[in-house]
Structure 1
Amino acid sequence: MKKFLPIFLSCIYGLATPSVLALEDREALVPLPSLDDFTNGKDGWSFGLGAGVEYETAYEGSDEFGFELQPAGAVQWRKGDNIFYFAGEAFGWRGLRNNDWLLEASVGFDEGREESDSDDGRLDGLGDQEEGFELVFQARRSFTPDWRYWLVSRVVASEDGNLGLFGVGRRFGTHTDGSGSEVNLVAVFHDSDYANKGFGIDEMQSAASGLETTSLSGGLRSFGVDYSYRHNMNDNWQIYAEALFEYFSSDVRKSPIARSNYESEIGVGFIYIF
Structure 2
Amino acid sequence: MNNLINASLVVLACSFFSQSVMAQEERSVLVPLPSFEDFTEGHDGWAFGLGLGIEYESAYEGSDEFELELDPVGAVQWRKGDNIFFWAGEAIGWRGLRSKTWLFEVALAFEEGREESDSDDGHLDGLGEGEEGAELVLQLRHAFDDDWRYWFDGRVTAGENGNIGLLGFGRRFGDQSDGSGHELSVAVVFHDSEYANTDFGIDMRQAAASGLQETDLGGGLRSVGVNYHYRHYINDHWEVFAEALYEGYFGDIKDSPITRNNYEAEVGGGFVYVF
Normalising by the smaller structure, the TM-score range is over 0.9
Task: Answer yes or no: is the 8 Å Cα contact 2:16–2:235 preserved in 1.
Answer: no
What one-letter code is carried by the residue in structure 2 that aligns with 1:18? F
| Match in the other structure for 1:125 | 126
Deviations 1:20-66 (A, max 9, x none): 44222411000010011000011000000001100000000000001
Q: Distance in 1 between matches of 2:93 and 2:117?
A: 31
Aligned pairs, number: 261
1:159, distance to aligned residue in structure 2 (A): 1.3
Task: Tell me how far 1:144 sits from its aligned partner.
Answer: 1.1
- Tell me the C-alpha RMSD between the 2 structures: 1.4
Classify the secondary structure of the residue corresponding to 1:195: helix
Residue 22 of structure 1: aligned partner:
21
CA distance in 2, matches of 1:25, 1:80: 17
What residue is the counterpart of 1:101 in the other structure? 102
Following superposition, the deviation at residue 173 of structure 1 comes to 1.3
Provide the rounded CA distance (Å) in 2 between the counterparts of 1:116 and 1:15: 51
C-alpha change, 1:15 and 1:198, in structure 2 (3 Å) is farther
Q: Quick one: structure 1 residues 129 and 22, their matched pair in 2 at CA, closer, same or farther if it must change by over 3 Å?
A: same
Alignment partners' CA distance in 2, 1:146 and 1:93: 22
Q: Decide which structure has the larger Cα Rg and report it.
A: 2
Q: Matched residues in 2 for 1:178 and 1:246: separation?
A: 25
Any gaps of 5 or more consecutive residues in structure 2?
1-12
CA contact (8 A) 1:25 1:176 kept: no
Greater alpha carbon shift after TM alignment, 20-29 vs 177-186: 20-29
State the alpha-carbon separation in 2 of the partners of residues 174 and 45 from structure 1. Answer: 28
Q: Is the 8 A contact 1:188 1:222 kept in 2?
A: yes
Check whether the contact 2:152–2:170 (CA below 8 A) recurs between aligned residues: yes
| Structure 2 residue identity aligned to 1:228 | H
Unaligned runs of 5+ in 1: 1-13
- 1:249 is aligned to 250
Distance in 2 (alpha carbons) for counterparts of 1:17 and 1:248: 45
- TM superposition score normalised by structure 2: 0.93
Q: Which amino acid aligns with 1:166?
A: L
Contact 1:138 1:152 in 2 (8 A): yes
Corresponding residue of 1:46: 47
The equivalences for 1:259-270 within 5 A come to 259-270=260-271
Q: Give SS of 2:198's match.
A: helix
| Aligned equivalent of 1:186 | 187
Q: Match of 2:39, as an amino acid?
A: F
The Cα shift of 1:102 comes to 0.3
Asked if 2 retains the 8 angstrom alpha-carbon contact of 1:56 and 1:265, the reply is yes
Residue 17 of structure 1 and its aligned partner are, at CA, apart by 4.2
Distance apart, 1:71 and its partner CA: 1.1
Identity, % of aligned pairs?
62
Q: Does the alignment pair 1:114 with 2:122?
A: no
Shift of 1:18: 2.9
